[in-house]
Amino acid sequence: MIQQVTVPEKKQFLDEQHWDVVIAPSSPWWKLNLGEIWRYRDLLRELVVRDLTAIYKQTILGPIWVLVQPLITSIMFAVIFGMMARMSLPGIPALLFYMSAIVPWSFFAGVINKTSATLAANANLMTKVYFPRLIPPLSSMFSTSFTFLVQLTLFFVFALVYLLSGSYAWAPGAALLMLPLLLLLEMMLALGVGLIVAAMTTRYKDLGFLIGFAVQLLMYMSPVIFPLSRVDVDSPVRSVLEVNPMTPIIEGFRGALLNTPMDWSTLWYSFAFAAVALITGLALFQRAQRSYADVV
Amino acid sequence: MSADEQPLMVQVQGLGKRYRLGTTNRQQLTDDVKAWTAKLLGRPDPTIPVGAEVDPQRIGEDFWALRDVSFEVRRGEVVGIIGHNGAGKSTLLKLLSRITLPTEGTIRMRGKVSSLLEVGTGFHQELTGRENIYLNGAILGMRKAEVNAKIDEIIAFSGITHHIDTPVKRYSSGMRVRLGFAVAAHLEPEILIVDEVLSVGDADFQRKSMGKMKDSAKSGRTVLFVSHNMTAMRSLCQRVIWMEHGRVRMQGPTEEVVAAYLGSYSSSTTEKIWNDQDAPGTEVGRLRQVRVAPASGGELFLWEDVIDVEISFEKYVDEPVYVVIQVSNSDNMVIFTTNIREAVPGVDKLKPGSHVAVCHFPSHLFNAGDLSLSIGMAHNGRMSFKVENVVSFSVVEPPRTGTWHGRRRGMFRLKLPWEIR
């Protein structure tokens, strides 16, 4: 009789059927354990903070780099492609035209490059401590998102400067509200592709080098240096651009930030592509990380 | 509540881990292509490392690092895991720590599990000591609020108060270990899994970490502890699991398992019997049998035991012949010699025939370590013959109450009369 008088919490704790941790040979790939990732949210935040502080502490210019990088690229593109090759849209300052695409593009490229190297970069951690293995790629994605937001702010500053100086009547419309959705789409796509590459690099390290070039090549297959509207509807270039899921996203950013004409329905294609990439990425990554500690 | 009524905290059932030999070396796409082409041409695989221990015939063969391992640990128990290198201890530790997944079987655990295979995991060079406490804490599964609540305590424990806001890259390795350990010491898991790498630091660090483990055990925490240090095992653990070739060879009360473990692995020969043909000796006499054993009759040669050496010999001549024992340590250095002549006055008048000489090494004499005895017979002021390393044994020290479990210095560990005036 006495045994029955137990504290409620303890009773649950002592429950013979209840185990907090069960380690078994394999769990199905779709079991992502999102609850566990949520429990480790402090680690996620610490890793994001680590990434950001480490970048700033290592360089002399520190946080300035985050702003200088897209600015220099934008200026370069504006001079080369905008002024010399006249590829940008007439009526819009070339600098703004290129920034509006380079900022989201460098986010995309950054997330892929970082998440694809995530297993190798955290090998030491992964052989010593358990934590949900999705945390490092997620943290790279969030720290890159932070950089993206800073760079996006820079765009707005420049746009306002143009507006106030009267040289360009910047007038963003309701399309500006599409920004969060575009960012989300980009996150899904970049994370998905990054995870696929990360999973494959556990077997083939060469892929880590290849992916940098591949992403760069993909940029020229996206409407970053020219608007989609300037490509002939019948040309083969157009069909290449339309297959690329980043095309609607980059065009979308431009549409949202500069109010350029945009067919928003094309985003459905990007969404479908991103969803497939993300699910494939999660599945492959889940499978790869399981045996990763045995391979390194 | 007695120990058996405590709830189960860890339940391991039929655990197994299989590795495939030789298939993890290829890391480049080109290697796969090369291996594939070589196979096609019937040439040896160029990607297999030269001089690798793996026999090419066995590539792809399975190797079970762990098989059929089952055990249970109840709340508040401190369980040691022992075994030689390659016995599967590290694999078991990795599985318990969830670093790698088992091939078969399950592990079930209750409550918060912390495993320490290393201190200071994930420290970032550019971050300050304080920032690294938060990072390392989070890696070890601490919530930010928890670290916030304990940050002052952690800093004080580490003893790096003045440099806590300096980047870790400027720390000495000792400071890093102290900081890492300070974080680990403030984890409050229900189950703590500790590797012996934690006991590689200096004496002060070992003392601290052992003290912390004892505290953990006292506060009702469940501890799984892997080590080669039998002294630490015997002082800390109630129960020991002995791993061999990836399986549990034996588990049970610490003393029993440790005794069996030391007994099975020590190269000691505690008894030597010669038959009539090969008994060593000269014209003065010869040896027939030598036996060394603790007087208590136990299996271990404990520091606190009297050790008896029994020498059966034959004496041929009617002149004084003396049995001599030389004790050597593991470096083959003679640490002392004892002669029956000084101890038994009547030995000069011993008649020819078969006799048994017994020497008692007093208790509290030898330091822990391997010892071997060379036995000889002296006649006419010189050694007539001597048989080197006839028997050997290992002296084991008793469990210690303190927190230092390293080896004491010196060949002897005498219990001397001391007093305070």
Q: Is the pLDDT of residue B421 over 80?
A: yes
Taking CB atoms and an 8 Å limit, are B142 and A125 in contact across chains? no
Chain A positions touching B24 (Cβ under 8 A) are: 294-295
Q: How confident is the model at residue B288 (pLDDT cuts 50, 70, 90)?
A: very high
Residues B52, A77: Cα–Cα separation, whole Å: 53
In the prediction, which pLDDT does A7 show? 39
CB B130 within 8 A of CB B151: yes
Residues A206, A148: Cα–Cα separation, whole Å: 28
Residue type, B139: I
A210 at B interface, C-beta within 8 A:
no
In the prediction, which pLDDT does B205 show? 67
CB B163 within 8 A of CB B175: yes
A9 at B interface, C-beta within 8 A:
no
B350 at A interface, C-beta within 8 A:
no
Q: Which of B52, B55, B51, B35 is nearest to B43 (CA)?
A: B35
Query: Per mean pLDDT, which range of A82-86, B66-70, B323-327 is the poorest?
Result: A82-86
Model confidence pLDDT, tens digit, residues A3-59? 443 334 444 445 567 888 888 887 666 666 778 888 899 999 999 988 888 777 766
Percent of chain B at pLDDT above 70?
A: 85
Give A92's DSSP letter.
Answer: S
Chain A positions touching B35 (Cβ under 8 A) are: none
Q: Which phi and psi (to 5°) does residue B288 adopt?
A: -115, -35
Beta bridge partners of B393: B371
CB pairs under 8 A between A and B: 128
In the prediction, which pLDDT does A2 show? 39
Rounded (5°) CA angle A165-A167-A169: 95
CB B115 within 8 A of CB A130: yes
Chain A positions touching B142 (Cβ under 8 A) are: 42
Cβ-nearest to B138 among A20, A43, A293: A43
Q: Which residues contact B157 (CB under 8 A, 6 or more apart)?
A: B182, B185, B186
CB B335 within 8 A of CB B411: yes
- For residues B176 and A85, the model is more confident at B176
Percent of chain B at pLDDT above 90?
A: 34
Q: How confident is the model at residue B68 (pLDDT cuts 50, 70, 90)?
A: very high
> Tokens 């790629």 map to which residue?
A137
What mean pLDDT is reported for chain B? 84
Map chain B to HEC letters.
CCHHHCCEEEEEEEEEEEEECCCCCCCCHHHHHHHHHHHHHCCCCCCCCCCCCCCHHHCCCEEEEEEEEEEEEECCCEEEEECCCCCCHHHHHHHHCCCCCCCEEEEEECCCEEEECCCCCCCCCCCEHHHHHHHHHHHCCCCHHHHHHHHHHHHHHHCCHHHCCCEHHHCCHHHHHHHHHHHHHCCCCCEEEECHHHHCCCHHHHHHHHHHHHHHHHCCCEEEEECCCHHHHHHHCCEEEEEECCEEEEEEEHHHHHHHHHHHHCCCCCEEECCCCCCCECCCEEEEEEEEEECCCCCCEECCCCEEEEEEEEECCCCCEEEEEEEEECCCCEEEEEEHHHHCHHHHHCCCEEEEEEEEECCCCECCEEEEEEEEEEECCEEEEEEEEEEEEEEECCCCCCCCCCCCCCCECCCCCCCCC
Map A162-211 to HEC letters.
HHHHCCCCCCCCHHHHHHHHHHHHHHHHHHHHHHHHHHHHCCCCCHHHHH
- Residue B382 burial by Cβ neighbours in a 10 Å radius (0-12, 13-18, 19+): exposed
Q: Is the pLDDT of residue B39 over 70?
A: no
Chain B positions touching A207 (Cβ under 8 A) are: 29
B residues 6-25 closer than 8 Å to A (CB) = 7-8, 11, 19, 24
Query: What is the pTM for the complete model shown?
Result: 0.74
Residues B226, B79: Cα–Cα separation, whole Å: 9
Chain B positions touching A295 (Cβ under 8 A) are: 24
Which of A5, A38, A55, A129 is the best substitution to test chain B (most B C-beta atoms within 10 A)?
A: A129
Pairing of strands B301-302, B334-339: unpaired
Q: Which residues contact A41 (CB under 8 A, 6 or more apart)?
A: none
| Residue B141 to residues A37, B184, B390, B407, Cα–Cα distance (Å) | 11, 10, 55, 34
A65 at B interface, C-beta within 8 A:
no
Cβ-nearest to A43 among B106, B108, B139: B139
In the prediction, which pLDDT does B197 show? 60
CB B74 within 8 A of CB A14: no
B102 at A interface, C-beta within 8 A:
yes
Q: Is the pLDDT of residue B25 over 80?
A: no
Rounded (5°) CA angle A109-A270-A208: 30
**Distance between B405 CA and the closest CA of chain A, angstroms:** 25
Cβ-nearest to A293 among B30, B99, B127: B99
- For residues A132 and B209, the model is more confident at A132
For residues A96-111, average pLDDT: 92
Q: Which of A7, A160, A48 is nearest to B127 (CA)?
A: A48
Taking CB atoms and an 8 Å limit, are A18 and B139 in contact across chains? no
Cβ-nearest to A46 among B24, B109, B138: B138
Taking CB atoms and an 8 Å limit, are A129 and B121 in contact across chains? yes
A41 at B interface, C-beta within 8 A:
no
In the prediction, which pLDDT does A247 show? 92
Rounded (5°) CA angle B95-B96-B99: 50
Chain B positions touching A16 (Cβ under 8 A) are: 7-8
Q: Hey, CA dihedral for B381, B386, B391, B393, is it positive or negative? A: positive
Residues B126, B85: Cα–Cα separation, whole Å: 36
**Distance between B218 CA and the closest CA of chain A, angstroms:** 20
Cβ-nearest to B101 among A19, A206, A290: A290
